Chains A and B, each alone.
Chain A
Amino acid sequence: MSQLFFGYFAGMIAITSILVVALRNPVYSALSLLVMFFHVAGLFITLHAEFLAAVQIIVYAGAILVLYLFVVMILNVAQDDRYHSQWRIAGVVCIPLLIESMLLLSGGAGAVNTGSRSLQSGPQDAIDTDNTLAIGKTLFSTYLFPFEVASLVLLVAMIGAIVLAKRDIGEHNT
């Protein structure tokens, strides 16, 4: 049963991700991205990570993608402008990705499996009881320092965005 769900979610993620870049209409691209976010959330649920699934939908589908759609609609991008001649760079980027996936598919599969299993075995019982509680406790005990650093980085980024967007703050006051 879970294999079936995984197959469905993975397949849909792959198809919709391709559609995001392949579709001509930017609004349809944004919508297939929305469908993809949903299926990623579905994958999280099959892994018993309900909190992550909800956050995935709230943050990405609910906020970020709406803003994307906003921009796409206001700009009303002409279809020619959207396709820059980037395929050479894309080709160069593709080579290492291809090699990586070949490596993963051929030899490294066994090693990856054991690795993930040893990761799962530790906090298994905590995850079963309350996923959100487990995440909170881990974040504020084991990973407190990285968590605080990440929040600081986000704060700096936020201040930077406000400063860039509000160039006229000083002009109004004087």
Chain B
Amino acid sequence: MTEFGLRLAISMTQIAAVMGVVVITVLILTLAERKVLGWMQDRMGPMEVGPYGILQPFADAIKLFFKEDIVPAGANKFLFTMAPILCLIPAFIGFAVIPWGPNQTFEVGGITVRPFVISDINIGILYILAFASLGAYGIILGGWASNSKYSLLGGLRSAAQIISYELNVGLSIVGVLILGGSLSLVKITDAQAGGFWNWYLFALPAPQIFAFVVYVISSVAETNRVPFDLPEAESELVAGFFTEYSGLRFAFFFLAEYANMVLVSCVAAAMFLGGWNAPYPGTIMAFIGLPSLAWVENTMWFAVKTYSFLFLFFWLRATLPRLRYDQLMRFGWKVLLPIALGNIVVTALAVFFYQQMK
């Protein structure tokens, strides 16, 4: 029983650490988004709270925390309360299978611990997809329970959009799964070691460049970000599914959206960009004779990749106008889906002939 207790304690520590990192990343993101948008539009961004506005996220959090919590008349109280939680849990739960650093183990009291991944289950990426698809429930129920037409329309739009683009996310990943031969994110990142030419974005025999493009576009659409933010289109739907939300419940939706962005970026980094592997063979730390510190370098590379992907989200937001709803659907089903399917066929053939030639 002590072994069980120790295991539980270790898992809890890992979960707490990962949650902490994700929440801090979200705090940074809220500031970074406003700053980056400001700079791109030749403004300063928030400057009031703290030096250069770096304490702005805390001011925002305190504001949301102390705001009055309004439940609209005629709303379904139970579902109105449940919806933000249903949105938040799937956004956070996916981080359990993301490998943050090298696949090494150490022993604590007879138990092998993997410090950089909470749980290496053999269906890792399917687990993430399964829970990502549940995020739609929070949005659709929040829209319905608010008893408001704007919210309902926003919720329905979001459901249609998430289902359509989830398919593209799933199919664009299949090429990587064929190359990696596994569903476990740990194994997939391990297989991309040894230089950027081994990352699945560039790897022979079938570079996944098209799949990566499809994945980027679809993941932007799945997280309801500009230019695919139709569920919350200000000009048509006030604020979409969270029109009626305020205070802490709104903060939950907000947190879920940003956590989803981080999750999507982590998956992109792990699947296409080599995860924690450096773009050169081995690590500098091992080269200068400190192999025990190599994990610092590796986790930093993972952070760099994730943050560059997150920067792309802001960049798109500053650049592109919102799509119309029918354009969105046509683009998803008639452009991205055929590209993703074609990529699967090409990758499968390439891998087959590559193995035959060996």
Residues in A lying within 8 Å of B, measured CB to CB: 27, 31, 34, 50-51, 53-55, 57-58, 61-63, 66-67, 69-70, 73-74, 130-132
Contact = CB atoms under 8 A, between A and B. Distances in A.
A74 B156 contact: yes
A66 B136 contact: yes
Nearest to B78: A28
B304 interface: no
B129 interface: yes
11 contacts: A34-B137, A50-B122, A54-B126, A57-B131, A57-B133, A62-B163, A66-B136, A66-B137, A66-B140, A66-B163, A130-B122
Given A62-B136, A69-B159, A73-B156, A54 B122 contact: no
Contacts of B152: 73
A31 B238 CA distance: 27
Contact of B166 (A55, A61, A62): A62
Contacts of B183: 132
Chain B interface main SS type: helix
B163 A58 contact: no
Nearest to A132: B183
Interface string B134-173: 1011001100100000001001100110110010001000
Given A51-B126, A132-B123, A69 B140 contact: yes
Contacts of A31: 141
Given A27-B79, A131-B122, A132-B183, A58 B156 contact: no
Report the 5 A-B pairs with minimum CB-CB distance, sorted nearest first.
Answer: A62-B133, A54-B126, A57-B130, A50-B123, A58-B130
Chain A interface main SS type: helix
A54 B130 contact: yes
Contacts of B123: 50-51, 53-54, 131-132
Contacts, number: 69
B302 to A, nearest CB: 24
B159 A61 contact: no
A132 B134 contact: no
Nearest to B132: A62
A42 B144 CA distance: 28
A55 B133 CA distance: 11
Q: Which residue, B131, B134, B141, has most C-beta atoms of chain A within 10 A? A: B134
Contacts of A69: 137, 140-141, 159
A73 B140 contact: yes
Contacts of B166: 62-63
Interface in B157-201: 159-160, 162-163, 166, 170, 182-183
B163 A63 contact: yes
A40 B337 CA distance: 30
A70 B126 contact: no
Contact of A61 (B127, B134, B182): B134
B133 A70 contact: no
A27 B130 contact: no
Given A73-B140, A132-B123, A61 B133 contact: yes
B312 interface: no
A100 to B, nearest CB: 33
A58 B133 CA distance: 7
Given A62-B129, A70-B160, A73-B155, 14 more contacts: A31-B141, A50-B121, A51-B126, A54-B123, A54-B127, A58-B126, A66-B140, A69-B137, A69-B140, A69-B141, A70-B156, A130-B122, A130-B182, A131-B123
